[in-house]
Amino acid sequence: MKEGMKTMKLVERVTTIAVLVAAVLVIAFTVRDRFFPGQTAGDPAAAARQLVGKAFPLPAKSQTGRMATLLLVVAEGCHFCSESMPFYRRLADMKPASPGDFGILAVMPQTAREAQEYLSQNRLQVDGIVSTALQQAGLQATPTLVLLDGNRHVTAVWVGLLDAGRQSEVLKQIGELCRNCVAA
């Protein structure tokens, strides 16, 4: 009987501790989600893929009117962005048979002046710069490539440092939208 009472008290204590730990976790996650929403970013690639099929919120001055527009979402200080620059320069060298068929815009959280300096330092020429907070564009990470069709709808998104296979996929997707584009 005495042994049974000890077991019951032990079970009761373990249960109480488990309930307290669960309550603390629920409160912590609720507080984090409520007061620090920018720090709850889940999977940036999954969030970016949700943009496919939707119109991308470009400022009016950045409207391209092209068959295909590639958005290079990069940031100063992002080492994966720096490592991706050779591929981005290759993309920037793509020549459409008709001018205006394909364009590249840099989307950066820095000011336009800072963004231009960063791009110049990396010898990357783009058709325009959009200076905006990434979250306003529905993005969470750099580097990210967003491919838009002529109606500004997202057709594909790639997040992170791209290996050779994913780089080929980018080129293929651009080629499907801009049949006149030729990779340099």
Confidence at residue 44, expressed as pLDDT on a 0 to 100 scale: 65
Mean pLDDT by 10 residues, the chain (184 residues): 74 76 66 50 66 72 68 91 93 72 87 92 90 78 87 87 92 80 60
Residue 83 and residue 16 share a domain: no
Confidence at residue 163, expressed as pLDDT on a 0 to 100 scale: 93
Residue 76 and residue 7 share a domain: no
Residue 30 and residue 79 share a domain: no
Residue 134 and residue 88 share a domain: yes
Q: Of how many residues is the chain composed? A: 184
Confidence at residue 116, expressed as pLDDT on a 0 to 100 scale: 93
DSSP letters along the chain, please?
-HHHHHHHHHHHHHHHHHHHHHHHHHHHHHHHHHH-GGG----HHHHHHTTTTSBP---GGG---SSEEEEEE--TT-HHHHHHHHHHHHHHT-EESSTTSEEEEEEESS-HHHHHHHHHHTT---SEEEE--GGGGT---SSEEEEEETTSBEEEEEESS--HHHHHHHHHHHHHH-TTEE--
Residue 74 and residue 25 share a domain: no
Q: What is the pTM of this model?
A: 0.69
Radius of gyration of the chain (CA): 24
Which backbone phi and psi does 73 adopt, to 5 degrees?
-95, 105
Residue 117 and residue 79 share a domain: yes
CATH code of the domain containing 109 = 3.40.30.10
Confidence at residue 82, expressed as pLDDT on a 0 to 100 scale: 92
Residue 142 and residue 94 share a domain: yes
Residue 29 and residue 49 share a domain: no
**Neighbour tally for 29: CB within 10 Å:** 11
Residue 89 and residue 138 share a domain: yes
Give the Cα separation of 5 and 175 in Å (integer): 75
Domain extent for 24: 2-39
> What's the total number of domains in the chain?
2
Residue 96 and residue 7 share a domain: no
Residue 53 and residue 24 share a domain: no
**Neighbour tally for 134: CB within 10 Å:** 17
Residue 60 and residue 141 share a domain: yes
Whether the CA torsion 35, 36, 40, 44 is positive or negative: it is positive
DSSP letters along 5-18, please?
HHHHHHHHHHHHHH
